[in-house]
Amino acid sequence: MNRPIALALLALSASLTLPLASAAGQTKPAGAERQPSRTTLKPAPKQPANPGVVAPAKPSRRTTPTTQPLPGVQIPDLRLTVLHNNDGESNVLPIATGPAAGAAGLARFVTLVNQEKSLAVTPSPEANAVGVVMISSGDNILPGANFNANDTLPPGAPLFDSLALQLIGYDGITLGNHDFDLGPAALGRLIAGVNVPPSGPFLSSNLNFSAEPALAPFTAGTTPRLARSVVRNVAGRLVGIVGATTTDLPFISSPGPNIAINLNVAQALQAEIDALDAAGVKIIIVSTHLQGFSTEIAAIAQLRKVDAVISGGGSELFATVGTPLLPGDVPNAGGPTLGGTGYPRFIRDADNNLIPAVTTSGLYRYLGRLVLNFDAQGNLLSVAQPISRPLPVLASITPDAAALAQVEQPVANYIAGLAQNIAALTSVTLDGRNISASAGIRAQETNVGNLFADSLLWQATVLAAQLGTPVPDVAFQNGGGIRNDVLITPGPGGTATVSENDLFRMAAFNNVLAVVPNVAPERLKLILENAVSRYPGGGASTAGNGRWAQIAGMQVVFDPRNTSIAFDQTTGAVTRAGNRIRQIILNDGRVIVDNGVVVPGAPSVNIATIDFLVASAIAPGNGLGGDQYPFGTDATFLRLGVTYQRALSNYLRTWLGGSITPANYPAGGERRIINLAP
């Protein structure tokens, strides 16, 4: 049996020619949420240490033959090429800096997709019929500078992101958590700008939109733009694509209160798979955005009648030996917990069949290519390797003219304007990187995190004098709200510019500054226990560090070796008391917590933060806000009408006078957060 293949999308390297090799996945851009799913998924059965690169023929979904044909002997009825990507996140421009500068970009991606679609439908003597489907596995947009370019469009015009999805021409577009970051209305505008056909629909089998006015209309009709699944006629054969979205959606995004979520992803998927199977759909592909490949493994272990799984939202890099990767990209080491090594991974389903599962890099940097051979009954015979052929020299990949004119160039012009607007000069390296689960802005104090927290505290204090709102004592910013792996390093002249574009990259969302008054000391301890609950150690998951707090106005001492707090996601009740927070001392010397206990007579505090962390905690919520911050259903808060990006800009320009130095923001932080673990 032959080996699977894939494509890596690179650009502007005049001397490099790429052969087709195994499909490559790629680490999710730093700063992306990695919370574990809140599904009721059972643990997956142990995977083989290295199941290899070719799946054996699996038993029929409808019969139980006593023998199986040898892979490669039976002529396939259909050779199906599955082209896929995920986590595009509005990143339509080529890479701007670094060793891969000039690579990727929407226009070249569209060209490559069109080329591969044409090749996939070229008749082959190795199969009775050939066909292709194109799938996105979620996070099609992301708030930030690129998305804000849509503000330049006239009312009612399709978003640049809608045009991008239309030009790529998807057969199914799975919804990810970031697709909801700006709320249902913004998602509705994205969907409205994508015509069906030739691109769409948007998919999720575990979300119900019937009570959401901004989205319910898209579920109507014989060809809905928003559905649980879609069926495509591929060379006369029916191919079903079923979507699913992370159940962490309410606390890592902003879906609002009207979207019902089935927390049992496997149940929702299987119900839709069974419906397609009953309707005579013989080939079924599942496309999920579950925030991590280990969650896909757990889901696959409970499914039947699935032929392949396309994953999105994780942080894994899948690639076989010889796969061309962008400079600096390193393949995931794999192992039993991630289904072995290489591309694809083979995961056992509920019937003990090995199911090929894949993922790719985000940001329109890679195009995944999975080739599947099926018999006339729709049974997967093998994962195939097409005839080897080279890609053209990368510089000769001509950008698609429509994508360049309609999307890339207008967005680039907008970004160029932001880049010329300088907010500050820095003479110290500003570190906003998400290096790993135990380092970086989601797991330790950094000077960029301190800048964010200080800007919230300062801006809320200034507005208190103007608006008569409560004066904040402390502030915190979740690490997940600081985006794009930013590292700004002074150049030969000793300084570097911090532009408005940099601020939009770091403060990408439409989060609004808020003040939460009279927070009891016991509640403050709960909030900070949540902030450190996903730090590695003490049995806690290493995922989900987006909830890590960058702080101002206090010093916090914690011990990750102690028990982490946990909540019931439905009721918000504490199901496991945490004792990681050992000390909280306000900057004025008042002690809130000492030796892990709230001190008698400790004061309540006013907190400056972003509305994302508190708004969804209040009714009809469960007391848990964004990133499960436990403000409680009885919390009150005031939005102060300034985005966190604007607060940061104002702070840099006004309070710091446009100058960031090692004296005020040292590279290693200021010991605001002290980790007691060795």
* CATH, residue 297: 3.60.21.10
Q: What is the identity of the amino acid at 210?
A: S
Nearest CA-CA partner of 34 in 535, 616, 614: 535
Looking at residue 437, what is its pLDDT?
A: 54
- Of the listed ranges 31-35, 87-91, 249-253, 398-402, the one predicted with least confidence: 31-35
- For the entire predicted model, the pTM comes to 0.79
Q: Which domain holds residue 172?
A: 7-12+75-410
Residues 366 and 476 in one domain: no
Burial class (CB in 10 A: 0-12, 13-18, 19+), 265: buried
Looking up residue 471, the CATH number of its domain turns out to be 3.90.780.10
Residues 427 and 401 in one domain: no
User: What rounded mean pLDDT belongs to the chain?
Assistant: 85
Euclidean distance between CA atoms 433 and 30, whole angstroms: 7
Which of the listed residues 380, 410, 440 is the one where a domain comes to its end? 410
Euclidean distance between CA atoms 381 and 75, whole angstroms: 9
DSSP 8-state assignment for residue 139 = -
Q: Is residue 17 part of a domain?
A: no
Looking at residue 238, what is its pLDDT?
A: 98
Residues 370 and 467 in one domain: no
Euclidean distance between CA atoms 549 and 566, whole angstroms: 17
| CB distance 164 to 407 below 8 Å | yes
Nearest CA-CA partner of 407 in 64, 107, 61: 107
Q: Is residue 445 part of a domain?
A: yes
Euclidean distance between CA atoms 417 and 582, whole angstroms: 47
**Count of domains forming the chain:** 2
Euclidean distance between CA atoms 360 and 313, whole angstroms: 10
Q: Is residue 229 part of a domain?
A: yes
Tokens of 608: 């400056």
Residues 134 and 178 in one domain: yes
Helix ranges (H only) for 204-346 are 249-252, 265-278, 293-300
Q: What is the identity of the amino acid at 648?
A: L
Residues 546 and 618 in one domain: yes
- Of the listed ranges 253-257, 402-406, 433-437, 531-535, the one predicted with least confidence: 433-437
Tokens of 270: 């299987």
Confidence of residue 36 (pLDDT cuts 50, 70, 90): very low
Task: Tell me the pLDDT tens digit for each residue of 486-497.
Answer: 899 999 999 999
DSSP 8-state assignment for residue 651 = I
Residues 244 and 200 in one domain: yes
Q: What is the DSSP string of 332-343?
A: ---BGGGTBSSS
Given a cut of 80, is residue 380 above it in pLDDT? yes
Q: Is omega for the bond preceding 154 within 30 degrees of 0, making it cis?
A: no
Break the chain down into helix, strand, coil percent, rounded to 5. 25, 25, 50
Residues 188 and 228 in one domain: yes
Q: Is residue 44 part of a domain?
A: no
Q: Is residue 31 part of a domain?
A: no
Residues 594 and 641 in one domain: yes
Task: Tell me the pLDDT tens digit for each residue of 71-86.
Answer: 445 899 999 999 999 9
Given a cut of 60, is residue 1 above it in pLDDT? no
Tokens of 416: 């160029």
**8: which residues sit within 8 A by CB, 6+ positions away?**
18, 24, 323, 324, 325, 326, 365, 366, 367
Q: Is residue 270 part of a domain?
A: yes
Strands (E), 470-542: 474-478, 486-488, 496-499, 512-519
Euclidean distance between CA atoms 239 and 221, whole angstroms: 20
Task: Tell me the pLDDT tens digit for each residue of 141-178.
Answer: 988 889 989 999 999 899 999 999 999 999 999 999 99
Residues 234 and 373 in one domain: yes
**414: which residues sit within 8 A by CB, 6+ positions away?**
145, 148, 149, 152
Task: Tell me the pLDDT tens digit for each residue of 74-128.
Answer: 899 999 999 999 999 999 999 887 787 888 899 999 999 999 999 999 999 989 9
| CB distance 164 to 88 below 8 Å | yes
Looking at residue 335, what is its pLDDT?
A: 74
Residues 350 and 429 in one domain: no
Tokens of 173: 């577009």
